[in-house]
Amino acid sequence: MIHFDVTKSAPAGHRSGLTRVSARLLAELGPAAPVKWPAAVPAGDWWLTAELFAEEERPGLTQFLRTRGIHKAAIFHDAIPLKLPHLTWPRSVARHPGYLKLLAEFDRVWAVSAASRDELLGYWRWLGLERTPPVEVLPLGADFDGAARASGPATAGATPRQLLSVGILEPRKNQSLLLDACTDLWTEGLDFELHLVGRVNPHFGPPILARIRELRRRFPGLRYHAAATDAEVAGLYAAAWATVFPTLAEGCGLPLLESLWRGVPCVCSDLPVLGENAAGGGCLRVAAGDRVAWREALRRGLTDDALRSRLAGEARSRPLPTWAGAAQVVRAALG
């Protein structure tokens, strides 16, 4: 029996990447019992978590992980709080070293990308740990809401053309660079809309939100959706000419995969972790943090119909992972 940890994801009022991983994986796993900490897991069963945790937040967790007879598995997302502490919640920065060390107590771990796997293994080597569990890559699903994959041509007739960016408002997601590039194009007279979808990071996001509100007074093509439902996001994908993902760091990059599932090309940062999925087609990769490069890439994406048609065709035809496939991998390993 699999006991699936929903301590944080069940009460969450938003769909972050972490909560979506938990929700979609649990939905596809089949027989699995959702549990909250403290978990009562019978001997011989599996406790599976895709959440972040610490002994301070879950008293007794370390002893639980060392209990013989109970099997433990985890899904690891990223080491971003250690790589970019200046862009991460202080609480997350403080928690992450202990979290990464506790992962070594599990029986098996799946990383959401090869890049994340290498980060975790490298951190364990740096700690000098003698015993660590196997770490494999678990391809996350592109079918974010369970809807069928786009098979026909994506919407291309709407005017003005629309760009869509999905992600929490915070410096790591780099909406500021996106606003810079779009401001340049609007100032030149290019007619398009930019739709931003995502809640505001309470620690880092307010200045970005303030800038969005200021730019809205100058450029009516800028739209912000703070709390869109899955159905509303699906509608935005259906109307999008392309999605834009200028992020500075990711564990996997679900918005890229979810865009491709909808048959919508994605203009994304050239991070190695995004390259793991972007290399299959449907994406235009741009130097991370380069305003000029992003401005010109967005110009091409909005005005080069042949390029957009080719990328959309690649998005519709290339193989993509599903949550059912991810659940099958987990179920086969845990029984």
Instruction: Give the pLDDT confidence score for residue 291 in this predicted structure.
Output: 97
Confidence of residue 16 (pLDDT cuts 50, 70, 90): confident
pLDDT tens digits, 124-172: 999 999 999 999 999 999 998 888 998 876 555 567 999 999 999 999 9
Q: Is 245 in a helix, a strand, or coil? A: strand
Is 70 exceeded by the pLDDT of residue 80?
yes
Rounded Cα–Cα distance for residues 65 and 113 (Å)? 24
Q: How far, in Å, are 57, 196, 210, 225 from residue 213 at the CA level? A: 36, 12, 5, 12
Percent of the chain exceeding pLDDT 70 equals 96
Is 70 exceeded by the pLDDT of residue 310?
yes
Domains (ranges, CATH) in the chain? Answer: 2-141+322-334 (3.40.50.2000), 161-317 (3.40.50.2000)
Is 80 exceeded by the pLDDT of residue 15?
no
pLDDT tens digits, 208-220: 999 999 999 999 9
What's the chain's average pLDDT?
Answer: 95
pLDDT tens digits, 218-253: 999 999 999 888 889 999 999 999 999 999 999 999
Instruction: Give the pLDDT confidence score for residue 212 in this predicted structure.
Output: 98
Instruction: Give the pLDDT confidence score for residue 158 in this predicted structure.
Output: 67
CB 276 within 8 A of CB 115: yes
Spatial neighbors of 181 by CB under 8 A, at least 6 apart, are 291, 294, 295, 298
Instruction: Give the pLDDT confidence score for residue 14 in this predicted structure.
Output: 61
pLDDT tens digits, 25-61: 999 999 999 999 999 999 999 999 999 999 999 999 9
- Give the global pTM: 0.94
